[in-house]
Amino acid sequence: MTRKRFGFAVLTLLGGCALGEGTLEEVDPASLPPVVTWDDHIAPLLDRYCATCHSEAAGPGTVEGYDYGSLAGSICGFEGVEETLFEEASMPPGAAPRPDGRQEALLRRWQDQGFFERLDAAGRGVRPGPFNCRQFGEGDDD
């Protein structure tokens, strides 16, 4: 640690305050992959933070009808992520671990790019095949 950094750390320690402005995309765009896919990024993320209560493998089952243990369920129920994670910040509840800034940015990018399932051999995102959202309580086909 350089002397400047150490001094900054001491000041921070004395202040004990939250720091920073802007999003991770603005501060450090290189920390995010250009293409976000279910296989590479989103499946383990949603398993860790959401699937404890919202998946078929969870003890309580697919609570509120959300299944974040599957690709189709995650796409069909993404409005739940939008609402409770991005807007309300009410999920995951209490002391349950929450996605950090990078992980939230990955979820947003996945949504913005149209929910890629995986990369093809050329490194381009591949969308999932057709599926029916009715099984998750939704009315629309994708």
34 contacts other proteins (rule: CB under 8 A): no
**Structural contact between residues 42 and 104, judged by C-beta atoms closer than 8 angstroms:** no
Task: Give how far Cα 41 sits from Cα of 47, 111, 115, Å.
Answer: 11, 12, 11
The count of residues interacting with other proteins (CB under 8 A) is 54
Among 35, 78, 82, 102, binds other proteins (CB under 8 A): 102
Options 93-101, 109-117, 121-129, 130-138: segment touching other proteins (CB under 8 A):
93-101
Among 50, 81, 91, 107, binds other proteins (CB under 8 A): 91
How distant is the alpha carbon of residue 46 from its chain centre?
6
Nearer to other proteins, 18 or 140 (CB): 18
In b/e form, how buried is each residue of 99-111, taking b as 16+ CB within 10 angstroms? Answer: beeebbbbbbbbb
CA atoms within 13 A on the CB side of 136: 27
**Structural contact between residues 69 and 80, judged by C-beta atoms closer than 8 angstroms:** no
33 contacts other proteins (rule: CB under 8 A): yes
51 contacts other proteins (rule: CB under 8 A): yes
What are the residues binding other proteins (CB under 8 A)?
Answer: 1, 5, 8-9, 12-13, 16-24, 27-28, 30-33, 39-41, 43-45, 47-48, 51-53, 55, 57-60, 63-64, 87-91, 93-98, 100-103
